[in-house]
């Protein structure tokens, strides 16, 4: 995989310096050029049109006075923009929200992966906590602007997902670059800018191929990454179970059922069905801790009673082995597949989170089989 090439605005800032050092040792990213106010080793904000280096993503950790030029340049070159600049005005926020319809834009109150886990844990705590008001205590280095963007994100998510209020208590105590948040017995501390820079570089990798579709944040990136991983796993699993005639069934888990199972160590896929020419079944994907996260129900019927189960299998399995080879979600086979005298089609609407579909097989243009399915994400 080729390196993701980055243009970094604010390259002489604390985060930019750490990112530059990390990129010099990385096999995944490369900072090909930098922008700052007054260092002759880099471009300044009046030289943006002179930038000759090829780049994939723009990262902006500069100053609000330079932001408008950076945003205008990103729009001009049609490149994804990651915004880490603090103190933007309402007008500037509106401008990048409008721009997110044209170019991919990331801007979140949090860039830290470990902080994201803390935020998720606080939201879960708020869901079960009996108190209507949650106290968040944050303590930072003495020049930090408070309340922090992270605290604001926590308060917003808790309110949106639980209806509860978060009372933010902010303190500036540390001489060192320390950020600290506490809610009840939950605690998160981050120190220095090296880890921040590493996480921003990882976000740049994730943003490279995104499409313009409103403003991205870390929660959204993680959700989309999880869905991408699920789709990849489903393709692997389906090619290693019923669709693959060389794979054997596992022991029946329910009376009268036929079962297949596949695991990659992170997720496990289980398919159980009943019947033959007329059949019904269910597929479920579990995380390694046995938590179900996705499922699908299906019912299929052979319309031509002269065709045996084995005949339908020979027509169906080759089509299902083509799963993931076109642009539809990988829950059955492709849109269309022709195999000798049989033609397979699959029409599906929705997303991997929530979908329904119809699968058909035709013999000499006569429909001989149909299956209906529906499914999506499993949540508690």
Work out the angle between the directed axes of helices 194-207 and 113-128 (0-180°, nearest 10): 90
Q: DSSP string of 197-226?
A: HHHHHHHHHHHTTPPP-SEE-HHHHHHHHH
64 in Cβ contact with 85 (< 8 Å): yes
Assess whether the region 4-108+196-216 and the region 113-192 belong to the same CATH fold: no
Q: Structural domain boundaries of the chain?
A: 4-108+196-216, 113-192, 227-377
CATH for the stretch 4-108+196-216: 3.40.50.720
Q: DSSP string of 220-250?
A: HHHHHHHHHHHHHHHHHHHHTTTT-TTSPPB
104 in Cβ contact with 81 (< 8 Å): yes
Q: How many CB atoms lie within 10 A of CB 35?
A: 27
Told to judge if 140 belongs to the known catalytic residues of this protein, a careful annotator would answer yes
For residues 351-363, b (16+ Cβ closer than 10 Å) or e, as one string? Answer: ebeebbbebebbb
Task: Please state the rounded mean pLDDT for residues 329-356.
Answer: 96
Question: Which of 3.30.70.20, 3.30.365.10, 3.30.360.10, 3.40.1390.10 would CATH assign to domain 113-192?
Answer: 3.30.360.10
| pLDDT at position 233 | 97
Task: Pick the catalytic residue from 21, 101, 116, 140.
Answer: 140
Check pLDDT > 80 for residue 216: yes
CA distance 80 to 106: 8
Q: Mind listing the pLDDT tens digit for each residue in 108-155? A: 777 888 999 999 999 999 999 999 999 999 999 998 889 998 899 899
Task: Pick the catalytic residue from 116, 144, 322, 343.
Answer: 144
Number of H helices, E strands in the chain: 8, 18
| pLDDT at position 91 | 97
Global pTM reads 0.76
Indicate the pLDDT class of residue 380, thresholds 50, 70 and 90: confident
| pLDDT at position 86 | 85
Check pLDDT > 80 for residue 324: yes
Which residues are registered as beta bridge partners of 69? none
CA distance 132 to 326: 49
CA distance 380 to 361: 36
Nearest to 31 by CA among 56, 67, 65: 56
| pLDDT at position 1 | 67
Q: Mind listing the pLDDT tens digit for each residue in 82-113? A: 999 988 999 999 999 999 999 999 997 778 88
Joined together, the tokens standing for residue 37 give: 């106010």
């Amino acid at each position: 995989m080729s390196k993701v090439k980055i243009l970094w605005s604010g390259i002489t800032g604390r985060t930019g310096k750490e990112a530059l050092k990390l990129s010099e040792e990385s096999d995944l990213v490369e900072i090909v050029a930098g922008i700052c106010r007054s260092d002759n080793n880099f471009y300044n904000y009046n030289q943006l049109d002179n930038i000759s280096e090829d780049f994939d993503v723009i990262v902006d950790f500069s100053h609000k006075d330079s932001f408008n030029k950076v945003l205008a340049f990103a729009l001009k070159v049609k490149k994804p923009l990651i915004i880490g600049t603090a103190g933007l005005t309402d007008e500037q926020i509106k401008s990048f929200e409008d721009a997110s319809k044209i170019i991919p834009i990331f801007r979140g109150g949090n860039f830290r992966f470990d902080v994201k886990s803390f935020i998720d844990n606080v939201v879960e705590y708020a869901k079960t906590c009996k108190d209507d008001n949650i106290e968040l205590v944050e303590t930072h280095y003495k020049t930090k602007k408070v309340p922090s963007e992270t605290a604001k994100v926590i308060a917003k998510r808790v309110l949106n997902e639980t209806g509860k209020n978060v009372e933010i208590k902010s303190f500036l105590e540390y001489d060192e670059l320390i950020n600290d948040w506490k809610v009840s017995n939950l605690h998160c501390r981050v120190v220095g800018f090296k880890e921040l820079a590493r996480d921003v570089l990882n976000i740049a990798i994730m943003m490279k191929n995104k499409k313009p579709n409103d403003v991205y944040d870390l929660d959204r990136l993680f959700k989309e990454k999880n869905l991408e991983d699920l789709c990849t796993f489903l393709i692997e699993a389906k090619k290693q179970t019923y669709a693959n005639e060389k794979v054997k069934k596992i022991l029946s888990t329910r009376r009268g059922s036929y079962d297949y199972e596949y695991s990659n160590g992170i997720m496990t896929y289980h398919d159980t069905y009943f019947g033959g020419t007329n059949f019904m079944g269910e597929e479920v994907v579990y995380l390694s801790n046995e938590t179900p996260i996705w499922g699908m129900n299906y019912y299929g019927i052979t319309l031509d009673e002269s065709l045996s189960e084995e005949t339908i299998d020979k027509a169906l399995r080759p089509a299902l082995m083509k799963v993931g080879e076109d642009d539809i979600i990988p829950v059955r086979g492709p849109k269309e597949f022709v195999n000798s005298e049989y033609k397979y089609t699959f029409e599906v609407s929705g997303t991997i989170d929530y979908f329904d579909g119809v699968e058909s097989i035709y013999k000499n243009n006569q429909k001989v089989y149909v299956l209906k399915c529906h499914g999506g994400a499993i949540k508690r």
